[in-house]
Amino acid sequence: MACGEIVRDIAFQRCISPDCGRQYDLAQIQLQCEDCGQLLDVAYDWDRLEVPRSLSVFDGHNGSLQDPRIRSGVWRFHSLLPFAPLDHVVTIGEGHTLLQQASSVAGYVGLEAGELYLQYEGMNPSGSFKDNGMAAAFTHAARMGAKRAACASTGNTSASLAAFCSVTRQMKAIIFIGSGKISFGKLSQALDYGALTVQIKGDFDDAMRRVREVAGKLGIYLVNSVNPFRLEGQKTVMFRVLQSLNWEVPDWIVVPGGNLGNSSAFGKAFAELFALGLIQRIPRLAVINAQGANTLYQLYEQQGLRWNRGAPQPGEVDGYYNQLEATGQRATTIASAIEINQPVNFYKCLRALETCDGVVREVSDQEILDAKAQVGAGGLGCEPASAASVAGAKKLRGEGVIGAGDRVVCVLTGHLLKDPDATVAYHTDNKEMFERVLASRGVEHTNFANRAVVVPNDLDQIVGAIEKHA
Ligand SMILES: *Cc1c(COP(=O)(O)O)cnc(C)c1O
Ligand SMILES: [Zn+2]
C-alpha cells in the first residue's frame, strides 16, 4: 500500500520557508526543498482531523497492551502526529519516561526546591530520547517499504536505529560513525544489536555528509534528524512534560543542542499546541551548546542571527561553516552527543527560538561534568551531553535570566551508562585515566568526586573504614 493513501492531504510535507512553502506528498523521500533547499516539516490540515478538544483526553487511555497508545509514550499522542494510521505505527515501547522533581539538584542550579524538574529520557529502550524520533521515522520508513535504513551518529541515533531494526526485524540498519569518538556504551549497542557498522576516518560532520551521499546513491532510507518524521516523534517529549505537570506550562525548557533536532521539535510542538488552542502560553526555550561545539551560540547570541519570521539573513550560516572549514576547526567536547559543528536543523532551531522567545548559552566541559555529578548524586544520572542542560540552567539562573521562582524543566537526553568512562574518570583517583579522559579536554577539577575507599583485605580495617565514612 502506498504511503499516504489513507491520510493523503490531511498530512503532507512542507518547506519551512514561508516564501516558498512548497508542499510534498508524504510518500516523497526528500530531505530538502527542491526549489529553495530549505528543510521540510511534516504538516497537517488540522481542520480535517479529529483534534482533541483538551489535553486531558490523553489522561484517560486504558486498554490492551497491544494498543500502541498504551504501549508507546509516543503513540499515546497519535492525534497530535497523525501522519500514519494508528494500526500501522511501529513501536518498541519507547517514551515511557517521566518528569522527576529534583529538589537536591535545584539548590545547585539556584532554584527554589520544587521548581527544578528533570525529564529522564535515558529511560527509553535504547537509553536515549532518540527512540521517540525513531518510532516516527521508522513508521514512515516501513510504510515506504524501505528494506535498509541508515544514519550517521555520535552513538545514540545508531543505537536506537539498530534496536528498532532488530526488534521489529523489518529493516537492516547501516550506521556511519566517525573514528575514535563514539563511547563504548553506544558502540556496544550497535554491535550487539547487529547493525552494519561503518567506521569512517573523520568526525560526525564528515560521517553526516557521507551518509547523505550514500543514502541518495543506494536508495537507503535516512533516519538522521534532517528527516522531518523524526521530529514528529520528538514532539512527544514535551507532551509528556506537560502531562507530568498536569498540563501546566512551565516557565523554561532547557535542552542540550547538538544537531538541534530536539529544540526544533519542541518549538514545533508548542507552536502547534498553541495554534490549536490546547495551551494558552508558550514556555521559553534555552538551548545549551558545549563550548567546543558552539555554532548556534556563535551565530544566535554573538552575531545576532534570527529566524526573522522566515527571512533569516542569507549566507551567514554558509559563511560561518566555510570559515570553520577554512581554519580547520573541529568540534571538540567530552559531551560527544553534541560534538557537532554543522547542525543539520539549524534553521528549524532558529524558528523554535523565535516561537519560544529563546536564548542560547555555551558551557565548558568542566561545567558539564560538575553538573553531571550533581545530577548523578540526585539519583538516576545522565550522560555528559545531557548535563549541559543543567549546567546551562545554572548559568542562566546566575545571570538572572531565569528567575529564582521560575519553574524549569531540564531535558536529560541520555542514560548515565552510555558513557561510563567519563563518569569513572571524574570519580577516580587514577591519574592516568583522569589525564587521558578529562585533563586532555581542559577539565581540571573534580569538584564532586566520590572516590572509592581503598582498604587492605582485613576485617578490622574494612569495618574501621566504613565507620569513618558512613
Ligand atoms: C542526540 C543527542 C543530543 C543532541 O540532540 P539534538 O537533537 O541533535 O540537538 C543530546 N544528548 C544526547 C544524549 C543525544 O543522544
Ligand atoms: Zn522551499
CATH (domain of 388): 3.40.50.1100
Residues at CB less than 6 angstroms from ligand 1: 128, 130, 156, 225, 256-262, 337-338, 383, 385-386, 413-414
What mean pLDDT, rounded, does the chain reach? 94
Residue 4 has pLDDT above 50, yes or no: no
For 179-269, strand residue ranges (E) read 196-199, 221-222, 252-256
- The answer to whether residue 35 sits within a structural domain is no
User: Is 3 part of a structural domain of the chain?
Assistant: no
Q: Is 150 helix (H, G, I), strand (E, B) or coil?
A: strand
| Tens digits of residue pLDDT in 378-402 | 999 999 999 999 999 999 999 999 9
How far apart are the CA of 32 and the centre of ligand 2, in A?
Answer: 8
Q: What is the domain count for the chain? A: 1
| Tens digit of each residue's pLDDT (9 = 90 or more) over 215-266 | 999 999 999 989 999 999 999 999 999 999 999 999 999 999 999 999 999 9
CB-based contact 88:134 (threshold 8 Å): no
Residue 399 covered by a domain: yes
- Would 376 be classed as within a structural domain? yes
Of all protein residues, the one whose alpha carbon is nearest to atom 8 of ligand 1 is 259
The CB-side HSE value for 328 (13 A sphere, CA atoms) comes to 0
Q: What is the DSSP letter of 342?
A: S
Instruction: Please give the number of the atom of ligand 1 that sits closest to the Cα of 265.
Output: 7
Q: Specify if 1 maps to a domain.
A: no
Q: Residue 400's domain spans which residues?
A: 98-126+229-422
Residue 195, in any domain of the structure: no
Collapse the DSSP code of 114 into the 3-class scheme (helix H, G, I; strand E, B; otherwise coil) and give the result.
coil
- Chain-centroid distance, C-alpha 365: 18
Residue 318 falls inside a structural domain:
yes
Rounded Cα gap, residues 102 and 251, in angstroms: 16
Does position 7 have pLDDT exceeding 50, yes or no? no
Q: pTM for this structure?
A: 0.96
Q: Which pLDDT value is given to residue 183?
A: 87
Question: Is the pLDDT at 205 greater than 90, yes or no?
Answer: no
DSSP structural state of residue 293:
B
Question: Residues with beta carbon < 5 A to ion ligand 2?
Answer: 15, 17, 20, 22, 33, 35-36, 38
Residue 210 lies in a domain: no
Cβ(160)–Cβ(423) below 8 Å: no
